[in-house]
Amino acid sequence: MKQNLIFTNDVEGVLQRLIADGGHNMTVWVADVNTSRFVPNNAPVITLPNGDESKSLETVCRVWNEMERMGVTRHSLIINLGGGMVTDLGGFAAATFKRGVRFINVPTTLLGAVDAAVGGKTGFNYNGLKNEIGAFALASDVVISTRYFDTLPIEEMKSGFAEVIKHAMLSDHGEFLRLLNHNFNAPIVHDDLLERLRHSVQVKVDIVARDPNEQGERKALNLGHTVGHAFESLAMRRDTPVPHGYAVAWGLVTEAVLSHLLLKFPSEDVHSLGNFVRDNYRDFPFTCDDYDELLDLMRHDKKSRDGEITCTLLNTIGNYHVDQAITHGDMTAALDILRDHLGL
Amino acid sequence: MKQNLIFTNDVEGVLQRLIADGGHNMTVWVADVNTSRFVPNNAPVITLPNGDESKSLETVCRVWNEMERMGVTRHSLIINLGGGMVTDLGGFAAATFKRGVRFINVPTTLLGAVDAAVGGKTGFNYNGLKNEIGAFALASDVVISTRYFDTLPIEEMKSGFAEVIKHAMLSDHGEFLRLLNHNFNAPIVHDDLLERLRHSVQVKVDIVARDPNEQGERKALNLGHTVGHAFESLAMRRDTPVPHGYAVAWGLVTEAVLSHLLLKFPSEDVHSLGNFVRDNYRDFPFTCDDYDELLDLMRHDKKSRDGEITCTLLNTIGNYHVDQAITHGDMTAALDILRDHLGL
């Protein structure tokens, strides 16, 4: 269970080498309507529609059918080039076609680079449930680059950056403070950002290596997500969807507050994080009238058990504790403090 | 990557213990129209239609939908009770539902017990191709019993027995000779047959453990199958389908002949095997006019590479060599000798 991670801004050169060394009978690219322009001319490509609503069984079948038509065998190579939708769905299709074709992920979004493309979670939405069907299957290689980010909307950069902060919170106080100095309005400094990615992805990889199938420690990566998913779902129900990372950012602050209340996580770190999130991630308008619905969503999270609300909490940056049961009183108190902090 | 194998004729007792020890929030059974009568009263069961043509994406979706409706979570347990169709398809559905629910296989056919239920291959037919989509996913436990075999048609017993012979050929000359004394017309001696199963399954498990994803050594298990699959496909095209194991039996003789021609596999073992197959597996009527089509099918086998015909061959019982390239001349000679042996 090992993934080869390559951090580079010479993506073409690296891929050419991987393709040449692999001895595959053919290479097929999977991309979406935005990223297919990065596929080399004349290379066979399967182009997916955009958007989470296309992350469906129907699209998976289209990919299987195209693979069949193109003559993909177990000795072929698939290159998934795109955001989380492409690497999740393309990875699942490759992992299940003839019981598994080798695939390489080339994430083109920050969120994809630090989250979806690495760690072996593949899948698609089913019956209205996100990532309801899927498999744990590792890309043989993940080629991580910042070269696609110059044209990425700032909202998408911010969304991915929340996961970068999460990884720092699970590992390294210095990196955490460094990230909170980030300025989204300045042009990207590629070498520096690639270094931040290297740090961030390594945190995920180390945790996944110790628990590939999410039996225990991997739940650390759920930091910010119990509360974040509830915000994301509530926004969806109100037909005012928010980017995943924004919801995670609010979730990180809330769970940092809980960590302070329950595990004495330092208040100065809560404040630094809270200020950064307030300044960079717009408000999510919610009131105490929404608490019941939010708590209900948290109880029904895919990772919850027996209807209990559980979070990953920290006692300091880098010291995490998974599966912490949260009472309704504590969660309500934390949401109050979040609203205070965001000025809601 | 470990499967717990349990050989027992007290299936109920063993399953009760596994269920009680698992701490699961619910247990759901997957069976087919024949085997659902073995499911405990009042237990939730998903019943599949019979037959290879139901081993489809549509049936997989039905299983996913039923799991959803019943409230299956990652903390639930699935018990697949049936032949290869149930364990293959039920295993795939369980392995992909919410990215993986624990499942136990309880094979009810001899072929299932020594082949499909063990070793982690799951999947379904797609676009007219057998097991075209699937995943490598291990049942946590496989409960192997002979208690379901008393009512199994003799044709199905023979079909499974061909794989038992194959495993002996890969491992143990004494066991090989013991098996060739088997009398299909005598009543089943359960304790003895369970012992033969224990021996047979262990051969597969040992090989799979050394090569779970079929990169190399696992191809040993393909003994008899390059030729066998060609017979099976030819019979299918002629609308006179033959049981899988019958085709494998003829394939084993053919590949034993090839082993003799190319690797000096002892002729007395070829003869003992050939006699047993001639006496127990009915003829497959083919002539030299069918050779071109058979060779063409072998070149397009899922496991072939670059259109070459490759077989697993033996120099003695227990000493196998995978990926042996076979010339058309050698294959033709072996088919001639097979026809001689079967009196065709």
Question: For residues B259 and B212, which has the higher predicted lDDT (pLDDT)?
Answer: B259
The answer to whether B213 contacts chain A (CB < 8 Å) is yes
pLDDT at residue B160 above 60? yes
Query: DSSP for B156-195?
Result: HHHHHHHHHHHHHHTT-HHHHHHHTT--TTSPP-HHHHHH
The answer to whether A131 contacts chain B (CB < 8 Å) is yes
The range of the structural domain enclosing residue B37 comes to 4-151
DSSP category for residue B119: S
Whether A147 and A185 share a structural domain: no
- Cβ–Cβ gap B135/A96 under 8 Å: yes
What angle in degrees, to the nearest 10, is found between the helix axes of B328-342 and B267-280? Answer: 50
Average pLDDT, integer, range A180-209? 95
Whether A139 and A202 share a structural domain: no
- Cβ–Cβ gap A135/B99 under 8 Å: yes
- Total domains in chain B come to 2
The answer to whether B239 contacts chain A (CB < 8 Å) is no
Distance CA B72, CA A108 (A): 35
Whether B53 and B17 share a structural domain: yes
Distance CA B255, CA B242 (A): 19
The percent of residues in chain A predicted with pLDDT above 90, rounded, is 85
Whether A61 and A169 share a structural domain: no
pLDDT at residue A201 above 80? yes
Which amino acid, A145?
S
The answer to whether A124 contacts chain B (CB < 8 Å) is no
pLDDT at residue A167 above 80? yes
Lowest mean pLDDT among B126-135, B208-217, B223-232, B255-264: B208-217
- Cβ–Cβ gap A96/B121 under 8 Å: no
- ipTM above 0.90? no
Paired sense of beta strands A77-82 and B141-144, if any: unpaired
| pLDDT interval class at B129 (50, 70, 90) | confident
Indicate which CATH number applies to the domain containing A240: 1.20.1090.10
Whether A10 and A67 share a structural domain: yes
Among candidate residues A58, A27, A57, the one with its CA nearest the CA of residue A45: A27
Q: Give the closest of A100, A129, A131 to B213, CB-based.
A: A100
- Cβ–Cβ gap A123/B305 under 8 Å: no
CA count, 13 A, side-chain hemisphere, B69: 9
DSSP category for residue B251: H
Distance CA B291, CA A249 (A): 66
The answer to whether B306 contacts chain A (CB < 8 Å) is yes
Whether B135 and B181 share a structural domain: no
Q: How far is CA B155 from CA B110, B115, B343, in A?
A: 11, 16, 21
Chains A and B form CB pairs within 8 A to the count of 75
Do the Cβ atoms of B60 and A129 come closer than 8 Å?
no
Whether B280 and B309 share a structural domain: yes
- Active site (annotated) includes residue B121: yes
Whether A101 and A168 share a structural domain: no
Give the closest-approach CA distance of A98 to chain B in angstroms: 5
pLDDT at residue B315 above 80? yes
The answer to whether A285 contacts chain B (CB < 8 Å) is no
Residues 6+ apart with CB under 8 A from B5: B118, B141, B142, B144, B201, B205
**Identified catalytic residue from B158, B199, B229, B341:** B229
Q: Using the structure block, give the residue that is written with the tokens 């930091």.
A: A223
How confident is the prediction for chain A on average, in pLDDT?
Answer: 94
Average pLDDT, integer, range B138-148? 96
Average pLDDT, integer, range A212-218? 80
**Percentages (nearest 5) of helix, strand, coil residues in chain A:** 50, 15, 30
Residue that is last in its domain, among B98, B122, B151: B151
Q: Give the closest of A61, A64, A121 to B99, CB-based.
A: A121
Whether A100 and A242 share a structural domain: no
- Hey, is B40 helix, strand or coil? coil
Distance CA A300, CA A292 (A): 13
Contacts of A25 in chain B (CB under 8 A): 305-306
The percent of residues in chain B predicted with pLDDT above 70, rounded, is 99
Whether B27 and B70 share a structural domain: yes
pLDDT at residue B303 above 80? no
Which amino acid, A180?
L
pLDDT of residue A214: 72
Distance CA B204, CA B112 (A): 13
Which amino acid, B288?
C
Whether A126 and A248 share a structural domain: no
pLDDT of residue B130: 85
Average pLDDT, integer, range B64-86? 96
Question: For residues B285 and A140, which has the higher predicted lDDT (pLDDT)?
Answer: A140
Whether B143 and B199 share a structural domain: no
State the pTM of this model: 0.90
The answer to whether B7 contacts chain A (CB < 8 Å) is no
Contacts of B97 in chain A (CB under 8 A): 132-133
The percent of residues in chain A predicted with pLDDT above 70, rounded, is 99
What angle in degrees, to the nearest 10, is found between the helix axes of B328-342 and B244-263? Answer: 120
DSSP category for residue B97: B
Q: How far is CA A263 from CA A216, A248, A305, A309, in A?
A: 20, 20, 22, 17
Q: Give the closest of B75, B97, B133 to A96, CB-based.
A: B133
pLDDT of residue B1: 57
Residue that is last in its domain, among A151, A180, A205: A151
Contacts of B61 in chain A (CB under 8 A): 57
- Hey, is B48 helix, strand or coil? strand
Contacts of A97 in chain B (CB under 8 A): 132-133
Residue that is last in its domain, among A123, A151, A179: A151
pLDDT of residue B246: 96
pLDDT of residue A93: 98
pLDDT at residue B310 above 90? yes
Distance CA B190, CA B150 (A): 9
Indicate which CATH number applies to the domain containing B121: 3.40.50.1970
pLDDT of residue A1: 57
